[in-house]
Amino acid sequence: MFDPTSRYYSLETATFTTSDGRMLAYKRRRFVPTEQGLILGNLVPSEGERLDLVTARVFGDPGAFWRICDANAALSPFELLDEAGRALRVPLPRS
């Protein structure tokens, strides 16, 4: 259902049975990690640079923006870029 690099890939798939007997599959809820993990370093994006462009440059995957969100305890990638010159914590790439 999800690409192996997705933040939802490792979540358990559960099922729900409706009143008419249909079984619906869904992914369990994802909780944002409370611990930051290992940090590669800090990065200050260029003015106007989008987070997907940052992660394409750093991780080689524009869809990995959520990893920088998690490392900075942000629910939205947009809040990370609201303040020009803000240093972002960059987590170590996953092997």
Same domain, yes or no, for 19 and 46?
no
- What are the CB-based long-range contacts (under 8 Å, 24+) for 21-29? 25/1, 27/1, 27/2
Average pLDDT over every residue of 6-23:
91
57 shares its domain with 76:
yes
Q: Which pTM does this prediction carry? A: 0.71
Domain that holds residue 50: 37-91
Q: Do 23 and 48 belong to one domain?
A: no
Q: What is the pLDDT of residues 47-82, one digit of tens each?
A: 888 999 999 999 999 989 999 999 998 888 888 988
- Please report the pLDDT score of residue 35 as a whole number: 62
Task: Give every CB contact of residue 27 below 8 A, 6+ residues apart in sequence.
Answer: 1, 2, 8, 11, 12, 13, 14
Over the stretch 27-54, which tens digit does the pLDDT of each residue have? 998 877 666 678 889 999 988 889 999 9
Name the domain count of the chain: 2
User: Is residue 26 domain-shared with residue 44, that is, in the same domain?
Assistant: no
